[in-house]
Structure 1
């Protein structure tokens, strides 16, 4: 970690799990389990779990004067603290592939959090699968909607401490896993006997999946 911290305030490029394109910007902070990259006008938080490679960039057009970036070093920067600070703030998340979702973090549990989205409504997000978190400016709202059009008051959910316990609560409900990236991830959540869950797909057949591969869950 000490060697990587030597790149703080330098222009770098970062390869992140699941993202086709590398991220290029100024590395401005590193915690024990998360780093912060400044790219254009955005602050991008990347959990170190998904850092595949970090290296300096020599491209002149990528170099940014670190003194021009409005950032104060964060004592004890951590993934969980970033999530806590982002609660109620309009945020973009990258979780699966290059698809992003926009909305608000509303609850944070042991190994997952709840994300309220105008498109997907309440989404359970596994912490281990979040690739990038990008907060918007304080006054920004999803799709420039008025607060009355998308109020931050999602339907209450009885939350468990861990995602395996949460999925157990939702047995018998129609669910969409991993933002519906394939037909086998959409259907009736028949059983959630950790570590294996069973989904009954549109054809009526069962598909089985290890819970470690559940990135998101939402209920249309």
Structure 2
């Protein structure tokens, strides 16, 4: 794969119908970096289904024009650490991205503060890619005072299953509410299964491995 660095590639990424194209910049132990002509894309290797040289050569940016310092210890967790406090776009599920700031990083999940969804718990294994915005950019061009970055007020556990246990009895939204059956009262979180009471009063059971995101409305 490293022989493709400084060449245009196209990727099939889990959960995304459209192939991702860009200039391959770097590869770490569990993450790769592309440049799409405007932004850097950080893609965890876990979700790389296929990569090949792009048959469509993208015009514009050359590797020599990109300011990039290779890192001997480039990793997913290090990328998250460096992204803390930086306005970032994340793609996790469905057809939408979410925008905001990484605020806390735990063992297998991290907290993302969004002006739309507020504090979102994101399972690390389900992040498809991360795109940092340019310095000084803010969500929706908001004044920074309108959306101050702050650490979450909830008590954080080390792991996502422990965090879900803390949320028992709370109204929760799973996977950004892409399915109405994944919104409801979290009745129990006894790993590996969780039980949610939907708006109609029915029980919905879900394996914790399929929890991509969770937030409280």
Q: Which bin holds the TM-score, normalised by the shorter protein?
A: over 0.9
Q: Indicate the residue corresponding to 1:106 in structure 2.
A: 103
Correspondence 1:61 to 2:58: yes
Please state how far the C-alpha of 1:59 moved relative to its aligned partner: 2.0
1:210 and 2:207 correspond: yes
Mapped to 2, the partners of 1:67 and 1:204 lie a distance apart of 59
Query: Structure 2 matches for 1:40-55, cutoff 5 A?
Result: 40-55=37-52
SS at structure 2 position matched to 1:137? coil
2:16 corresponds to which of 3, 15, 19: 19
Q: CA deviation at 1:98?
A: 2.4
1:147 matched to 2:114? The reply is no
Distance 2:51 2:124 in 1: 21
**Does structure 1 residue 173 correspond to structure 2 residue 170?**
yes
Work out whether 1:93 is the aligned partner of 2:67.
no
Question: Which of the numbers 54, 71, 76 marks the counterpart of 2:73?
Answer: 76
The answer to whether the 8 Å contact 1:25/1:63 transfers is no
Q: Which residue of 2 aligns with 1:198?
A: 195
Structure 1 match to 2:184: 187
Q: Which residue of 2 aligns with 1:133?
A: 130
SS at match of 1:140: coil
Counterparts of 2:10 and 2:174, CA distance in 1: 31
Three-state SS of the structure 2 residue aligned to 1:164 is helix
1:157-210 CA-partner distances (Å, limit 9, x unpaired): 100000000000000000000000101100000000000000000110000000
Distance in 1, Cα, partners of 2:44 & 2:198: 32
Corresponding position: 1:124 with 2:124: no
* Superposed displacement of residue 64, structure 1: 3.9
Matched, 1:6 2:20: no
Deviation at 1:102, TM superposition (A): 0.3
What is the TM-score of this pair, normalised by structure 1? Answer: 0.96
**CA distance in 2: counterparts of 1:190 and 1:41, whole angstroms:** 45
CA distance in 1, matches of 2:182, 2:57: 43
> Following the alignment from structure 2 to structure 1, what is the Cα–Cα distance between the partners of residues 49 and 94?
15
Residues 11 and 64, structure 1, Cα contact 8 Å, conserved in 2? no
After superposition, the CA RMSD in angstroms is: 1.0
Rounded to whole Å, the distance in 1 between the matches of 2:56 and 2:152 is 48
2:161 is aligned, of 146, 164, 170, to 164
SS of residue paired to 1:184: helix
